[in-house]
Structure 1
Amino acid sequence: MSADVEPRRVRADAQRSTARILEAAEEALAADPNATLERIADVAGLARATVHRRFSSRKALLEALTELLHERYLHAIEQARVATAPPVAALHRLTELLFELKVSNRVAMELTADPQTEMTPPNDDVVAGLDLLFTRLRDAGEITATDTAWCRGIYLAVVHEVARLPVESPDLPSAAEGTLGEAGARADLTFKTVLAALGGRPQ
């Protein structure tokens, strides 16, 4: 057995433990947003010392959840093919994926949100993906707004506000009727609102 096999095994075990803890954290925090590290350890089926070795504090755990959310945002950007798909189609698909994320990660997003904006702030890679999408929309003549930072801010703000609408809202008729599903109805409303706000053509 080579000398580096054992360190690799230790790293692999540590990665599995970390993934297990984060999965348990999402489950425990969904049931109780104030769940302690000890409670999360119990849900993960791990020794409490193991959780404390991976995360020295609840704050450190929430920071790891924020990073996990950023990875999921980036995966959504890749799935929507913001660099290659027709930009309007990419915008709609990305918006659907974001609302699917919000439905399945609602508590984690609330706990990792900036208190001033109530939103999980995007990291640099997510910002770059969104800016590329709005640049492509402008170049294709689908919107008239030219400042990508402003476009991004409008988009994220609308996503946030639409996510807060109750499902029975008259602005979400498709959700109430069940024709699109909740995530689809919210994505549709966001898509139309953002394009109109940015000087886009009716779709």
Structure 2
Amino acid sequence: MALPTDAKPLRADAERTVRAILEAAEKVLSANPAATMEQIAEAAGVARTTVHRRFASRDALLAALAAWATRQFHEAVEAARPDTAPPAVALYQVTANVLRVKIGWGFAMGALPTDAPEVARVHADVLASCARLFARARAAGLLAPDVDPDWARRVYYALIHEAATEAPDSDAAVDALATRVVDTLLRGIGTPARA
């Protein structure tokens, strides 16, 4: 499934309708991946014909949902200013932002087509941002000088993935999860060795 990248900009009202449909699709498909376009339309509060006018097929809707989630993921990382904010602040903010996307758009994030060029480009860009952030964190003393940054990033990604499965019900709960992820990454979960 290719992601649409050359769509014309929509009017504000049409954009709100599309967003409502995508948000409804995320909610409905998370609960029932076999849900129909009619069920999605009902959840969005629009006519089935409106959904079909915006998305010619279920595959087109899923591609748009994946494209939306991909953009949200990229914007979540960029909003944390990983190249300019102090490394500790950026690490926490990237974590909180990405958790919000992974939790809020879990179905779409899980359905991203790994062979789509746009998904690959965004993931490569995010990976490069994280690599620079982890290098900055090591230079700032947040990570031990001998830590393998690739290993640290993979552990970090795994922590985020696991944290996102908890499905917190408030922003405060997401913030607490982000703090737990960063604390686990930087301080571990074991007790310090005694001298």
Q: CA deviation at 1:147?
A: 4.3
TM-score with structure 1 setting the length: 0.65
Higher Cα radius of gyration: 1
Q: Tell me the residue number matched to 2:3.
A: none
1:22 maps onto 2:10 in alignment: no
In structure 2, how many angstroms separate the alpha carbons of the residues matched to 1:44 and 1:166?
Answer: 22
Q: CA deviation at 1:184?
A: 2.5
In structure 1, how many angstroms separate the alpha carbons of the residues matched to 2:101 and 2:83?
Answer: 21
Q: CA deviation at 1:113?
A: 5.8
Q: CA deviation at 1:23?
A: 2.5
Q: CA deviation at 1:47?
A: 4.1
**Which shows bigger deviation, 151-160 or 46-55?**
46-55
1:191 maps onto 2:182 in alignment: yes
Q: Tell me the residue number matched to 1:153.
A: 154
What is the alpha-carbon root mean square deviation over aligned residues?
3.6
TM-score with structure 2 setting the length: 0.67
Q: CA deviation at 1:30?
A: 4.4
1:53-98 CA deviation, whole Å, 9 max, x = no partner? 4334333322322222222222222332211111012101221222
**DSSP 3-state at the match of 1:123:** helix
In structure 2, how many angstroms separate the alpha carbons of the residues matched to 1:94 and 1:55?
Answer: 32
Q: Tell me the residue number matched to 1:58.
A: 58
1:112-152 CA deviation, whole Å, 9 max, x = no partner? 2689xxxx98623322322221122133332233544x443
The aligned runs of 1:1-150 (5 Å cut-off) are 11-12=10-11, 15-110=15-110, 112=111, 123-143=123-143, 144=145, 145-148=147-150, 150=151
Number of matched pairs:
173
Runs of 5+ unmatched residues, structure 1? 1-7, 168-179, 198-203
Q: Percent identity?
A: 40
Q: Tell me the residue number matched to 2:5.
A: none
Q: Tell me the residue number matched to 1:175.
A: none
Q: CA deviation at 1:191?
A: 0.6
Determine if contact 1:96/1:184 at 8 Å carries over to the other structure: yes
Q: RCO greater where, 1 or 2, for CA within 8 Å and sep 6 or more?
A: 2
